Amino acid sequence: MNQNASVLIWEIAKKLQQETSFGKMLSDVLLYLARSMGCEEATLWLLNVKDSRLYVVASVGKQDLTGASLDLDRGIPGAVTRSAKTELISDCATDPRFKQVKGETPRNLLSLPLKTAYDCLGCLQLTDRRTSDFTREDVDICALAASLIAIALEERGVLLTPPASRKVLTALRDLSCRGAADDAPLKQLSLNIYEEEILAIVGESGCGSRTLMRLLHLTSDLSDVREGRFLAAGRDMLNAGEGEIDDYHRGFAAYIYPDCPLIPTMNVKANIELAVRQALDPLTAEEALFLTGLQETAKWMPEKLSLKQKQLVGVARALAKKPDLILAEEPGFYLGAGEAKEVLAALLSGAKKLGATLVIATHNPEIALLADRVLTLREGRIFRTFLNNHPKTPAELVW
């Protein structure tokens, strides 16, 4: 093994020992391996022994694959997991197994089993190596990396709890959209958002997260959408009428802005009652205040509120609509860590009690670890995603 290969394996071994979310750790390893091998995409499939199906727990590339699953008797991941043997395809276009695959066919593919002494836990798959085909040495290096991943999985006793039973609440299909102010446009983005999940969207400033959040709230000008579909509430919202969009805002989706603007001439309860009056099937203002611990501030004017209390009013106002989808842009952004955790705790608790899906857009990678699933955007495209099978609580966050 040459020096570069030794460094690669050493770096992977170090990443697998990091004390962090296991899903993030696997995603970091996958990203490092894909970059080192010069691959466009990489996917980690794990076997769930309860239903004998494979699920994607992490992926690198332009697709969100974390909702994908396969029976053991289907597809290359199933065959590799079942046989525990490596599969290398140098030209996927000539392989008959890809004739039934929808979408763009990869140039080449390397799929390796995640083997322990007694079991095969799934497979590691690398596709679209750009510079050349996979060499024998590449295969050996990736096989060693797969072995290290399998050992780490076995040592930590990972129990796979995929969101496979959840229904899709909202879906974007090959959607391109002009960017919001100071943010990247979306480029052929496909994404499923599931019922009752917590999804975190992260990325550097200008990555496209604000564009995506405003689109999901239908506050962007729909003429900004150049192509694709936006499926929600049983219809394609890009072709919805004005009344259907009004219903979407009144009952389906609620938005929490970073600064949580309030009407300064109305007290806290009155600000929340505005949302109540506009909603289709709301909570009472009193119920929303109770969910966020704001009962004592009901008659306070906004000028008397602290920054934390203003953000909690923003959370209460969103919960009052009893929405299916809560969109929170940079929750806790202007607060210190302690107060931010209180706001996040109220947000997560309220969403759970209502059975709502929660999407959090944040530049803080620690806050993202509250989520069941984490999606990273880069320049308006999906860069990587991973399942977080053991989300942190707000109290466990450190930054």
Q: What is the pLDDT of residue 1?
A: 60
Place of tokens 């219903």: 247
For 25, the token pair is 């750790």
Q: Is residue 163 part of a domain?
A: no
Residue 72 makes CB contacts below 8 A (sequence gap 6+) with 47, 52, 53, 54, 78, 81, 82
Q: Is residue 212 part of a domain?
A: yes
Q: Are 271 and 285 in contact (CB under 8 A)?
A: no
Residues 67-120: pLDDT tens digits?
888 988 889 999 999 999 999 999 998 988 887 666 678 899 999 999 988 889
Q: Is residue 43 part of a domain?
A: yes
Q: Is the dihedral of CA 33, 37, 40, 46 positive or negative?
A: negative
Q: What is the pLDDT of residue 159?
A: 58
CA distances from 43 to 29, 40, 173, 280, 386 (A): 11, 11, 20, 42, 10
Same domain, 239 and 95: no
Q: What is the pLDDT of residue 102?
A: 67
Helices (H), 86-167: 136-156
Q: Which domain holds residue 207?
A: 168-396
Q: Which residues of the chain have pLDDT under 70?
A: 1, 19, 100-103, 158-165
156, 182, 203 — which closes off a domain?
A: 156
Q: What is the pLDDT of residue 17?
A: 86
Helices (H), the chain: 3-15, 22-37, 75-83, 136-156, 209-216, 242-247, 268-278, 285-291, 307-320, 337-354, 365-368
d(CA 289, CA 286): 5
- 185 three-class SS: coil
Domain count, the chain: 2
107, 124, 156 — which closes off a domain?
A: 156
For 325, the token pair is 């989808």
CATH number of domain containing 275: 3.40.50.300
Q: Is residue 161 part of a domain?
A: no
Residues 188-218: pLDDT tens digits?
999 999 999 999 999 999 999 999 999 999 9
d(CA 242, CA 206): 30
Q: Are 372 and 391 in contact (CB under 8 A)?
A: yes
Q: What is the pLDDT of residue 165?
A: 56
d(CA 293, CA 262): 18
Q: Is residue 330 part of a domain?
A: yes
* Strand 357-361 with 325-329, pairing: parallel
Same domain, 249 and 378: yes
With both helix axes pointing from N to C terminus, report the angle between 3-15 and 22-37 in degrees, rounded to the nearest 10. Answer: 170
pTM: 0.91
Q: What is the pLDDT of residue 390?
A: 85
Q: Alpha carbon 285 to chain centroid distance?
A: 31
For 283, the token pair is 């909570």
Same domain, 199 and 141: no
